[in-house]
Amino acid sequence: MTRIVVDAMGSDNHPRPDVEGAVMAAREYGVEIILVGDEAKIQPVLAAQNTTGLSVRIVHAPEMLTMEDKGEDLAFKARHKDAKNSMAVGIDLVKRGEADAFVTAGNTGAGMVTALFRLGRIRGVERPALAPIFPTATGTCVVLDIGANPDCEPVHLLQFGIMGSVYAEKVRGVKNPKVGLVSNGEEEGKGNHLVKEATPLFKSSKLNYFGNVEGKEVIGGKVDVAVTDGFVGNVMLKTSEAVAKLIVDKIKEAIKDGGPLAMIGGLLVKPALGKIKKLLDPSDQGAAPLLGVNGLVFIGHGRSDAVAMKNAVRVAKDAVESNVLEAMKSAIEESLKK
């Protein structure tokens, strides 16, 4: 049985959505759930759930990392061998082989730093990368990095491309994924110094390299993996989420303000709008993998509800069962032989 650690103190409204979503996942996906956090706060929420026949247990962690933890203070709490915060305790379960993956909706920076200190990096990977799934006109696209590394070197982008390609193939089921470099023009030679210097590395790699892609081509489904630095990637993510929300809100406003006929039309198109909303909803994927650390770690939105947490566990389960970590290690090792 796949064993997933869920940080019960992660979401903005912890521990209710974290616990409820984890129990839903245990029931729907048949996984073992290990809830990590303050047992006194977790137990009442868990007791209110129907856990008959499910494998759900609590590992007590009296402390938690928050948005207030930064700099040296965060580094100390993330790396101290006797750390008692929920992220450290949960990630240590993965490190010791007592669990297969860790899921949190907590502070993204804290999750990345804790995973990096406690799990270390895959050999040959200099920078871990966050890799969410973007909806596109033809399906989905793995985009990385979206915030872990605002400043990158060309070799870092190549490593992102290799890891993203393996993830797309093993977890997303994409055969021979097309990999593109995010740029301000599709022609070779366009882009900033980083893109221009990374291009020959991609061209000489074993990746199915597509070339430069503009933002519109990423959303248009031209590639399966889009590679960029964390600064550009984060802007892409935040902008796409805002635009998606704007579109849904404006459609609702237009129907509401359009009079009786618009209201009737709104009822007729409601099923279609529901599908569009689901497509644009980041909670459908639940969490993004932190690729490059020596273990499976998934980080979701702080505003995650129970459904988002359930889906985050599903994504983690898929990664475990596809053996993506070992495949990623092999691919990086192969790249080092050149």
- The answer to whether residue 338 sits within a structural domain is no
Say if 191 falls within a structural domain.
Answer: yes
Confidence of residue 256 (pLDDT cuts 50, 70, 90): confident
Residue 328 lies in a domain: no
Number of domains in the chain: 2
14 & 115 share domain: yes
Is the pLDDT assigned to residue 314 strictly greater than 90? yes
pLDDT level of residue 277 (50, 70, 90 thresholds): low
- Predicted confidence at residue 266, as pLDDT, reads 61
Task: Kindly state whether residues 108 and 142 are assigned to the same domain.
Answer: no
Averaged pLDDT for residues 313-320: 96
Q: What are 163-193's pLDDT values in tens digits?
A: 999 999 999 999 999 999 999 988 888 889 9
Q: Which of 282, 311, 332 is the last residue of a domain?
A: 282
pLDDT of 194 reads 95
pLDDT > 70: what percent of the chain?
A: 93
Contact 327, 170 (CB under 8 A): yes
CA angle 199, 217, 211 (to 5 degrees): 20
251 and 296 within one domain: no
Q: Would you say the pTM of this structure is higher than 0.85?
A: yes
Helix residue ranges per DSSP H, the chain: 16-29, 39-47, 71-79, 86-95, 108-119, 154-170, 193-203, 215-219, 230-257, 259-280, 306-321, 324-336
- At 85 the pLDDT is 94
Q: What is the predicted pLDDT for the residue at 233?
A: 92
Q: In terms of residue numbers, what domain contains 176? A: 133-282
**317 falls within a domain:** yes
Q: Do 62 and 195 lie in a common domain? A: no
> 29 and 107, same structural domain?
yes
User: What span, in angstroms and rounded, lies between the C-alpha atoms of 309 and 224?
Assistant: 25
Residues 147 and 266 in one domain: yes
Give the separation between CA 36 and CA 20, rounded to whole angstroms. 14
Worst-scoring range by mean pLDDT, 6-10, 37-41, 108-112?
A: 108-112
Q: Is residue 8 part of a domain?
A: yes
Report pLDDT for 280.
56
Residue 123: predicted pLDDT: 93
Residue that finishes a domain, picked among 282, 314, 331:
282
In the predicted model, what is the mean pLDDT of the chain?
90
Which residues pair with residue 144 across a beta bridge? Answer: 227
Residue 150 lies in a domain: yes
pLDDT (average), residues 13-20: 96
The pLDDT of residue 242 is 85
145 and 265 assigned to the same domain: yes
Higher pLDDT, 334 or 91: 91
pLDDT at 76: 78
Residues 75 and 160 in one domain: no
Q: What's the pLDDT band for 90 if we cut at 50, 70, 90? A: very high
Say if residue 208 is in the same domain as residue 105.
no
Specify the CATH number for the domain of residue 10: 3.40.718.10
**Domain shared by 37 and 177, yes or no:** no
Same-domain status, 118 and 55: yes
Cα separation of 202 and 208, whole Å?
9
What's the confidence (pLDDT) of residue 276?
Answer: 58
Asked whether residue 14 is domain-assigned, the answer is yes
Q: Is the pLDDT of residue 68 over 90?
A: no
Closest alpha carbon to 221 in 152, 279, 148, 291: 279
Rg (CA), the chain: 21
Query: Does one domain contain both 53 and 172?
Result: no
pLDDT in tens, 280-300: 565 677 899 999 999 999 999
User: Percentage of residues in the chain with pLDDT exceeding 90?
Assistant: 68
Q: Rounded to 10 degrees, what is the CA torsion of 131, 105, 119, 233?
A: 20
The Cα–Cα gap between 194 and 297 comes to 28
C-alpha–C-alpha distance, residues 336 and 338, integer Å? 6
Q: Confidence class of residue 265 from pLDDT cuts 50, 70 and 90? A: low
Confidence band (pLDDT; 50, 70, 90) for 147? confident
Asked whether the predicted pLDDT for residue 212 surpasses 90, the reply is yes
Domain assignment present for 336: no
